[in-house]
Chain A
Amino acid sequence: QLQLQESGPGLVKPSETLSLTCTVSGGSISSRSYYWGWIRQPPGKGLEWIGNIYFNGSTYYNPSLRSRVTISVDTSKNQFSLKLSSVTAADTAVYHCSRTIFGVVIVSAWGQGTLVTVSS
């Protein structure tokens, strides 16, 4: 049974970098069948796609966040990570890691999500 678990600080100061890691269990992050990614949901708002990465390092980012986002993969640890720089209060959200099939659109598995608050 595939499980995705987010981890990282729940509080980040404005202008700093948000860093989260997703640990994948019950499946290999090196599989050629899947992409791995991040989706967030600000309080009271809808879901927002952040981006995806393939096992070979190819990345696909939301154009509105591209200048601040880096998604990377560590196949040795079966993990992938999100870094979002220069955060503001608008980046406060529940961040979900995800696995997608047939490209980056169909999310076949989601992590529970972790709340990250941007505040001084």
Chain B
Amino acid sequence: QSVLTQPPSVSAAPGQKVTISCSGSSSNIGNDYVSWYQRLPGTAPKLLIYDNDKRPSGIPDRFSGSKSDTSATLGITGLQTGDEADYYCGTWDSSLSVVVFGGGTKLTVL
């Protein structure tokens, strides 16, 4: 069982917006920055968001991140079929002294 909790799956229609939640505790999300990763089928994961809401170069502004207390959220607007992937959140846990990840959320674009 993962330290960070994500919904197993979400779905939405093309062009719509979807949000993916990542719930933790005061020792992880509540105490450090959150990153988000996208893993397209058959490919290596890719960094989408770091430091809660920053996008690396090349990541479109359709992807956004936010954090409040012990939860973080990834938002994707203007959904495309190419966004179908597994999404993971990650951060540092100061009690466990480890990098922790969510269990992953599978996005389906209907």
Binding site for B on A (CB under 8 A): 4, 39, 45-49, 62-64, 96, 101-102, 104-113
In the bound complex, do residue B101 and residue A110 qualify as a contact, i.e. CB atoms below 8 Å apart?
no
B41-49, B68-76, B77-85: which lies at the A interface? B41-49
In the bound complex, do residue B56 and residue A105 qualify as a contact, i.e. CB atoms below 8 Å apart?
no
In the bound complex, do residue B47 and residue A46 qualify as a contact, i.e. CB atoms below 8 Å apart?
no
Can you pick out 12 interface pairs between chain A and chain B where the beta carbons lie within 8 Å of each other?
A46-B104, A47-B90, A47-B101, A47-B104, A49-B100, A62-B98, A63-B98, A64-B98, A105-B92, A110-B44, A111-B44, A113-B44
Given contacts A46-B2, A47-B88, A47-B90, contact A106 B35 (CB under 8 A): yes
Q: Which of A49, A109, A111 has the most chain B CB within a 10 Å cutoff?
A: A49
In the bound complex, do residue A106 and residue B50 qualify as a contact, i.e. CB atoms below 8 Å apart?
yes
Given contacts A105-B35, A107-B37, contact A49 B2 (CB under 8 A): no
Q: Which residue of A lies closest to B91 (CB)?
A: A105
Given contacts A49-B100, A63-B96, A63-B97, contact A110 B35 (CB under 8 A): no
A111 contacts which chain B residues (CB < 8 A)?
Answer: 44
A49-B98, A63-B98, A64-B98 known, 4 other contacts, Cβ within 8 Å: A47-B90, A48-B101, A105-B35, A107-B37
Q: Which residue of B lies closest to A52 (CB)?
A: B99
Contact among B1, B44, B50, B98 for A96, CB-based, below 8 A? B44
Asked if B103 is an interface residue, CB under 8 A from chain A, the answer is yes
Q: Which residue of B lies closest to A113 (CB)?
A: B44
Report the separation of the CA atoms of residues A108 and B90 in the bound assembly, to the nearest whole angstrom.
12
Report the separation of the CA atoms of residues A109 and B96 in the bound assembly, to the nearest whole angstrom.
24
A48 contacts which chain B residues (CB < 8 A)?
Answer: 101
Report the separation of the CA atoms of residues A3 and B100 in the bound assembly, to the nearest whole angstrom.
24
B30 contacts which chain A residues (CB < 8 A)?
Answer: none
Q: Which of A4, A102, A110 has the most chain B CB within a 10 Å cutoff?
A: A110
